[in-house]
Amino acid sequence: MDNNIENSIDSPKKTNAYRVLSIICFLASVVFYALGFDKMYNYTNSEYSFIKNHNAYVGGDAYNYIINGTYSTAFFVLGIGLMLIGGLCILIHVHANSQNKIIHQNERILLVLKDDRNIMRVNDNREKQEELPSL
């Protein structure tokens, strides 16, 4: 029973790591989506030197559209992958917390407090259920 208590005490820290990882994955997913939309919609290829080119790599417009389309597709795939990983981390976090609650409920039911005169079984409400004669 001591091992179960130690594992149940350590598991909230482990499940919080999944929560943090899911938040990081969702934030990175938003960043990659923003980069993908930037590559797709922000394109400037000017013939004049005083106008700054944006997302322009070669001289022809068609080639630049192909390159930017490939970049935006790659960023969108990265964003979807990170969103899936973040969702899985949330599911793991929720499942581990539900298992942790079951363990704690079983420990509360089985908890036996020793008193100077009596041994009593305690439930979740901390009410005395049964009193045994003193030994």
pLDDT tens digit sequence for 75-119:
999 999 999 999 999 998 888 877 766 665 555 555 444 443 344
CA distance 60 to 80: 31
CA atoms within 13 A on the CB side of 42: 10
Q: What is the pTM of this model?
A: 0.64
